[in-house]
Structure 1
Amino acid sequence: MTTGKINVSVENIFPLIKKFLYNDHEIFLRELVSNGTDATLKLKHLTSIGEAKVEYGNPIIEVKIDKEGKKLHIIDQGLGMTADEVEKYINQVAFSGAEEFLDKYKDSAKDSGIIGHFGLGFYSAFMVAEKVEIITKSFKDEPAAHWTCDGSPEFSLTAHDKTDRGTEIILHIAEDSLEFLEEFKIRELLNKYNKFMPIPIKFGTKKETLPLPDGAAEDAKPEEIEVDNIINNPNPAWTKQPVDLTDEDYKKFYHELYPMQFEEPLFNIHLNVDYPFNLTGILYFPKMSADLQMQKDKIQLYQNQVYVTDNVEGIVPEFLGMLKGVIDSPDIPLNVSRSGLQADSNVKKISNYITRKVADKLKALFNENREDFEKKWNDIKIVLEYGMLSEPKFYEKAGDFVLYPSVDDKYYTLAELKDAIKENQTDKDGKLVVLYASNKESQHGYIEIAKEKGYEVLVLDSPIVSHLIQKLEGDNEKMTFTRVDSDHIDNLIKKEETQISKLSDDEKENLKTVVEAIVPKPTYSVQMEALDSNAAPFIITQPEFMRRMKEMSQTGGGGMFGMGNMPEMYNLVVNTNSELATTILKNEDKSAQESLVKQALDLAKISQGLLKGEELTAFVKRSFELIK
């Protein structure tokens, strides 16, 4: 029997591990199963190159609960350890066996999938266990070893009668961690962290019904047998080549990743690169909502099929954080708890690669089936528009596939849009004026006015459209965007003909004085305009610049302008060619005149969604009085 002290630099290494090294105690199971996987993959590699003269077979990792004995067992059939190796790899904290193995076999082991990096993973066991045992038998022809430690630097190492190859870790679960003796808890952790480990993981057994043989009697009952319950999928879709997968395979894997997601993904992007770094994965475009925050943290990060985190900030470009799927790379540097990223040049390269790959895929989808791409546009546009704002490399490629839909369901690229509107939508400076609606329903009246004039109106209704417009205008000097209900329709754009007012200049001044005395100041700036007689008598517009700055301040861009609390300011355009304008002007009853103006103003407010609360109640009451 050997006894001694574990070679650590401080006496209280275990309390430090328990309190600080790992901020999430549950990852102990991930680390121990990962160690078992490493041991198995190492053996597979050594047998493949002839250094291990043993039969590899079909090894599994088994996790067992002994609730009565308050023990948790993790058993592998890997290469095992000799007593000397236990001394070297277990008693010298932070000496990494995986690192040494990779260094020794760095050329032949390049693609062996060895997971371990830090040598501290085993000691995470002491976060939940008051005592840990290792019973291990090497693939070499040497006696088995039995190591025991109670959480202090003291250990014992004795011979053991174990005859089968591999390692068994026995955790004597501490009183404050008894939840890890519950079957549902262990199943939850295995599903979370080890669902796609490359070695089959057994957790309990399940009943399986055998098919009846040919010619069996009608009343024969099928036989039920107990079989291993393999809880993981060792060969997930992202580890395969795209040519070996069908659309159905991709959809099936999507629902394996997200069992509670019932909608099908719109399409997927398979990532597969081995130079200048290793990275595989599958990204899915789900249907998107306008809530950017709710969509984030849906991509899962793996390292050689070991789950690490769903916080992929820094690895995946921010705008793609709204997608779903998997990224797996052994080249992503992690700290000892596998839960955070360190600064590394590979990270930026990976992010740039993913950006380029996604852009290329979108362009291909657009070119291959534009009609289908247009049908999916509303479900993916928020991601692409966000990408244009946040990733310069994506913005450079976006012109090939980003679409600008019209209110009549026509879809333009930016280049196509410029050609479509260049004839009749220019301002006095020769700029192309792109009219757009942010809400087809509430801005319907304004859209109709614009369409009557022969103008093309786009639908740009995402919450970040104001920011996107600023960028597009900055990069296209001869183009300006104006919302369809802003102060553009008769001032900004050149008209082929000018409406003649039915009212004289003096009458228009008198009417303006009457209206200004009734409408609230300074919220409304009253303007007299000679519009078509069929147009609405009162039209509320908003100065384009002020409205856009206000929108930007509400979506995170206003702080830099100091416009977080901008006042509401509108233009009230009075159509001097409307019958109502003449009626108001000619009416000598001041009370009736005031009622007409208030009613017309409220109707204009309704068209803009501005009538609420007490004002809406008063409008309804006044309307009923009028129809009496």
Structure 2
Amino acid sequence: MEKNKISVTSDNIFPIIKKFLYSDQEVFLRELVSNATDAVLKLKTIVELGNFDDFIDDFKIKIIIDKKNKSIHIIDNGIGMTKEEIKKYINQIAFSGAEEFIKKYKTSNIIGHFGLGFYSSFIVSNQVQIFTKSYKKNASSIFWSCDGSTNFIIKEIEKKNRGTKIVLFLNEESKEFLEYNRILKLLQKYCKFMPITISLSSIEDKEKETIINNINPAWKINPLQLSDKNYLNFYHELYSHQLDDPLFWIHLNIDHPFNLTGILFFPKIEKRIDIQKERIHLYQNQVYITDNLEGIVADFLSLLRGVIDSPDIPLNVSRSHLQSDPSVKNISKYITRKVADKLDSMFRNHRKDFQNKWENIKIIVEYGMISTENFFVKAIKFFIFSTVNNVYFTLDEFKEKIKETQKNKEGKIVFLYSSDKEKQYSYIKEAKDRNYEILILNSPISVHLIQKLEFSYKEICFVRVDSDHIDKLINHKKEDKCYSELSETEKKNLKNIISSNLMENYKFSIKLENLSKKDYPFLIIVPEFLRRIKEMNSIGKEFFEKDKEKYYQLIVNTNHIFMKKILKETCEKKREKMIQEVLNLTLLSQNLLHGKNLTLFISEKLENLTKK
């Protein structure tokens, strides 16, 4: 048996780092500015600990574009490097000076971890040069240069100022990064809130200097020191294209068992679940990482906006993707709990204001209740239903109100609801005439929430108000029940007559019901269970819309006087016209009369009006 070590040399790993470690070319700037920031933060830490005597109050990072020489300069006045440190941290791939510093000085505000960020410079460069001078007394200034191979030059030079200057000589494929606006956009994307002041300028136009960042973003400030105006200003700083203010926000701040700060804003969502263009941003020590927070926040919170900043969220080596880790689940649970606690507090302490905001946040809460069980348990206490009269109830409040008056044959409490007050007006009126309470459930995911609630609360059921005649939906008193005045033979004849006059133009199924004489002769419904199945399946829903007539049911009121007239009428043409007339009125009342049939109906009515 032979034992040995796997051979990994710079000759075989360097090309992999340059070509495959970073999926996006543009991150080279984020990595180099992060390194410069670390260099300054390290010196600040040493100064604060009293290990450096010089007075410093002007820490800064400069990015300078030199178009003529096809180069970009990244300059900091931070800690600098000695010759030995260059050999250790630059010449040795994946040896992290940041990690070593964190262990030595017990600080958590340093950005770097893997010791690979510097090598992202070779993605865009033919040659990289370093000019550096350490803060240490009597340290020599050092020059280092590499052309992207494993060969490098290192020597002592004259450099007066403490800190580091990195010069990138861009390759032909990366000339776009010599454009001022291109670099400006990148800096604003990745470095907008870095903790050290960053400026951008160019050799060609020295007077044009842009300060990039806000070094004290709102999420890093104690909430007690922030006003509403501060939060709103920060929101618009994050999302400059948003004209509307957010409804409210949650300031996150925890330091055990993990470190996390941030602010989540609730925008006006109303009844849309769109793919949000403006999403929550993930930062790590004030460095922008991504706006894809899958795994860090529950799916329903992707509808929110804001910032989450945590040094404890595990990232891959290129800092472009999350790594699977138990701590991510804990962070996700914490964020979900904080959102639920905030909503619960608003509901309990400022219910009227909560109700005023409800229509704009309802869909977020519904989505959370459907998708996240821990959130459902908390949200059921503050989820509110609105009635058609704009009165709000929690589930328990509404259940208590209707438990004696709205039950079905099985004894379940019936939550009557409408999805559209205008379209379902006649059904709502019938229910209101009987003093029943009707809810409005009109979001795209209401049907999924209904299923969840019925599963969790076996004693209740939800029924849309137009899914049958109201007296069939609610089990009313026996003395109020209606009995048919038609014989069984008459009923059979009636169904045959209506069917034969209906089948040519409509695919409705027909059902005879013994309703009140005051009720309409015809009623058109879609049974609750059938419509719900179709609504829960988006593909099925599209199919349902395309061929929905076949799912409609025509309820025929056998006790309406019109039915006896049909049975007595012997002229087939006249009878057909009578049925069509009443059916058209029924269809029109429910916005179901369209196209050719609507045109014929209007033409006939106009003709009748102009007859002498």
Deviates more, 1:518-527 or 1:148-157: 518-527
Q: Distance between the aligned counterparts of 2:235 and 2:278, measured in 1?
A: 15
Q: Report the CA distance shift for 1:282/1:504 in structure 2 as closer, same or farther (over 3 A).
A: same
CA RMSD of aligned residues (A): 2.6
Q: Distance between the aligned counterparts of 1:272 and 1:152, measured in 2?
A: 45
Spell out the pairing of 1:204-219 with structure 2 (5 A cutoff).
204=201
Q: Report the CA distance shift for 1:328/1:137 in structure 2 as closer, same or farther (over 3 A).
A: same
1:588 is aligned to 2:570: yes
Residue in structure 2 matched with residue 127 of structure 1 by the alignment: 123
Q: Distance between the aligned counterparts of 2:193 and 2:12, measured in 1?
A: 35
Residue in structure 1 matched with residue 472 of structure 2 by the alignment: 491
1:137 is aligned to 2:137: no
1:569 is aligned to 2:555: no
Residue in structure 2 matched with residue 201 of structure 1 by the alignment: 198
1:333 is aligned to 2:314: yes
Spell out the pairing of 1:292-441 with structure 2 (5 A cutoff).
292-295=273-276, 298-441=279-422
Q: Report the CA distance shift for 1:582/1:540 in structure 2 as closer, same or farther (over 3 A).
A: same
Q: Distance between the aligned counterparts of 2:12 and 2:608, measured in 1?
A: 85
Residue in structure 1 matched with residue 185 of structure 2 by the alignment: 188
Report if aligned partners of 1:297, 1:321 keep a CA contact under 8 Å in 2.
no
Spell out the pairing of 1:34-45 with structure 2 (5 A cutoff).
34-45=34-45
Q: Report the CA distance shift for 1:280/1:556 in structure 2 as closer, same or farther (over 3 A).
A: farther
SS in 2 for 1:295: coil
Q: Distance between the aligned counterparts of 1:362 and 1:78, measured in 2?
A: 44
Could you give the per-residue CA deviations for residues 108-147 of structure 1, whole angstroms, max 9, x where no partner exists? Answer: x14xx10001111111111111111111111012011111
Residue in structure 1 matched with residue 3 of structure 2 by the alignment: none
Deviates more, 1:477-486 or 1:296-305: 296-305
Spell out the pairing of 1:256-267 with structure 2 (5 A cutoff).
256-267=237-248
Q: Report the CA distance shift for 1:555/1:154 in structure 2 as closer, same or farther (over 3 A).
A: same
Q: Distance between the aligned counterparts of 1:292 and 1:15, measured in 2?
A: 44
Could you give the per-residue CA deviations for residues 339-379 of structure 1, whole angstroms, max 9, x where no partner exists? Answer: 11111111000000011110000011111211111111111
Q: Report the CA distance shift for 1:59/1:601 in structure 2 as closer, same or farther (over 3 A).
A: same
Q: Distance between the aligned counterparts of 1:193 and 1:16, measured in 2?
A: 24
Q: Distance between the aligned counterparts of 2:88 and 2:295, measured in 1?
A: 36
Residue in structure 2 matched with residue 222 of structure 1 by the alignment: none
Q: Distance between the aligned counterparts of 2:502 and 2:541, measured in 1?
A: 32
SS in 2 for 1:58: coil
How much has 1:505 moved relative to structure 2?
A: 5.0
How much has 1:490 moved relative to structure 2?
A: 1.9
Q: Report the CA distance shift for 1:444/1:144 in structure 2 as closer, same or farther (over 3 A).
A: same
Match of 1:597 among 579, 587, 598: 579
How much has 1:75 moved relative to structure 2?
A: 0.8
Could you give the per-residue CA deviations for residues 202-254 of structure 1, whole angstroms, max 9, x where no partner exists? Answer: 1239xxxxxxxxxxxxxxxxxxx979632110100000111111111111111
Q: Distance between the aligned counterparts of 1:617 and 1:338, measured in 2?
A: 63
How much has 1:605 moved relative to structure 2?
A: 3.5
SS in 2 for 1:380: helix
1:519 is aligned to 2:507: no
Residue in structure 2 matched with residue 96 of structure 1 by the alignment: 96
Q: Distance between the aligned counterparts of 1:70 and 1:8, measured in 2?
A: 34
How many residues matched? 595
How much has 1:555 moved relative to structure 2?
A: 7.6
How much has 1:608 moved relative to structure 2?
A: 4.2
Residue in structure 2 matched with residue 276 of structure 1 by the alignment: 257
Residue in structure 1 matched with residue 532 of structure 2 by the alignment: 548
How much has 1:262 moved relative to structure 2?
A: 0.4
Spell out the pairing of 1:439-478 with structure 2 (5 A cutoff).
439-478=420-459
Report if aligned partners of 1:8, 1:93 keep a CA contact under 8 Å in 2.
no
Report if aligned partners of 2:142, 2:155 keep a CA contact under 8 Å in 1.
yes
Q: Report the CA distance shift for 1:54/1:469 in structure 2 as closer, same or farther (over 3 A).
A: same
Q: Distance between the aligned counterparts of 2:67 and 2:32, measured in 1?
A: 19
How much has 1:586 moved relative to structure 2?
A: 3.4
Q: Distance between the aligned counterparts of 2:456 and 2:469, measured in 1?
A: 22
User: What amino acid is aligned across from residue 227 of structure 2 in structure 1?
Assistant: T
How much has 1:506 moved relative to structure 2?
A: 4.4
How much has 1:53 moved relative to structure 2?
A: 3.2
How much has 1:519 moved relative to structure 2?
A: 2.4
Q: Distance between the aligned counterparts of 1:605 and 1:14, measured in 2?
A: 74
Q: Distance between the aligned counterparts of 2:20 and 2:576, measured in 1?
A: 72
How much has 1:568 moved relative to structure 2?
A: 4.1
Q: Distance between the aligned counterparts of 2:84 and 2:578, measured in 1?
A: 98
Q: What 5-or-longer segments of structure 1 have no aligned partner?
A: 1-6, 206-224
Q: Distance between the aligned counterparts of 2:595 and 2:293, measured in 1?
A: 44
Q: Distance between the aligned counterparts of 2:428 and 2:599, measured in 1?
A: 28
1:528 is aligned to 2:525: no
Could you give the per-residue CA deviations for residues 152-191 of structure 1, whole angstroms, max 9, x where no partner exists? Answer: 1111111121111111111111111111011111111111
Q: Report the CA distance shift for 1:18/1:598 in structure 2 as closer, same or farther (over 3 A).
A: farther
Q: Distance between the aligned counterparts of 1:511 and 1:265, measured in 2?
A: 60
Q: Distance between the aligned counterparts of 2:595 and 2:23, measured in 1?
A: 50
User: What amino acid is aligned across from residue 159 of structure 1 in structure 2?
Assistant: E
* Identity across the alignment (%): 52
Could you give the per-residue CA deviations for residues 36-88 of structure 1, whole angstroms, max 9, x where no partner exists? Answer: 11111111111111233333322011111111111111111110111111111
How much has 1:556 moved relative to structure 2?
A: 9.2
Q: Report the CA distance shift for 1:297/1:488 in structure 2 as closer, same or farther (over 3 A).
A: farther
How much has 1:489 moved relative to structure 2?
A: 1.7
SS in 1 for 2:40: helix
Deviates more, 1:532-541 or 1:145-154: 532-541
SS in 2 for 1:25: coil
Report if aligned partners of 1:443, 1:607 keep a CA contact under 8 Å in 2.
no
Q: Report the CA distance shift for 1:625/1:528 in structure 2 as closer, same or farther (over 3 A).
A: farther
Q: Report the CA distance shift for 1:549/1:478 in structure 2 as closer, same or farther (over 3 A).
A: same
Report if aligned partners of 2:63, 2:75 keep a CA contact under 8 Å in 1.
yes
1:510 is aligned to 2:456: no
1:23 is aligned to 2:23: yes
Report if aligned partners of 2:94, 2:116 keep a CA contact under 8 Å in 1.
yes
User: What amino acid is aligned across from residue 32 of structure 1 in structure 2?
Assistant: L
Residue in structure 2 matched with residue 105 of structure 1 by the alignment: 105
Q: Distance between the aligned counterparts of 2:588 and 2:329, measured in 1?
A: 50
Q: How high is the TM-score relative to the length of structure 2? A: 0.92
Residue in structure 2 matched with residue 247 of structure 1 by the alignment: 228
How much has 1:534 moved relative to structure 2?
A: 4.6
User: What amino acid is aligned across from residue 595 of structure 1 in structure 2?
Assistant: K
User: What amino acid is aligned across from residue 162 of structure 1 in structure 2?
Assistant: K
Residue in structure 2 matched with residue 3 of structure 1 by the alignment: none
Residue in structure 1 matched with residue 4 of structure 2 by the alignment: none
Q: Report the CA distance shift for 1:448/1:233 in structure 2 as closer, same or farther (over 3 A).
A: same
Match of 2:145 among 144, 148, 155: 148
Q: Distance between the aligned counterparts of 2:448 and 2:540, measured in 1?
A: 9
Q: How high is the TM-score relative to the length of structure 1? A: 0.89
SS in 2 for 1:134: strand
Could you give the per-residue CA deviations for residues 541-572 of structure 1, whole angstroms, max 9, x where no partner exists? Answer: 1111111111101289999xxxx999942221
How much has 1:468 moved relative to structure 2?
A: 0.9
Residue in structure 1 matched with residue 164 of structure 2 by the alignment: 167
Provide runs of 4+ in structure 1 moved above 6 Å: 555-559, 564-567
Spell out the pairing of 1:611-622 with structure 2 (5 A cutoff).
611-621=593-603
1:46 is aligned to 2:46: yes
User: What amino acid is aligned across from residue 39 of structure 2 in structure 1?
Assistant: A
User: What amino acid is aligned across from residue 169 of structure 2 in structure 1?
Assistant: H
Report if aligned partners of 2:126, 2:171 keep a CA contact under 8 Å in 1.
yes
Report if aligned partners of 1:133, 1:146 keep a CA contact under 8 Å in 2.
yes
Residue in structure 2 matched with residue 217 of structure 1 by the alignment: none
Q: Distance between the aligned counterparts of 2:188 and 2:550, measured in 1?
A: 52
Report if aligned partners of 2:463, 2:473 keep a CA contact under 8 Å in 1.
no
1:115 is aligned to 2:111: yes
Q: Distance between the aligned counterparts of 1:350 and 1:566, measured in 2?
A: 45
Q: Report the CA distance shift for 1:573/1:68 in structure 2 as closer, same or farther (over 3 A).
A: same
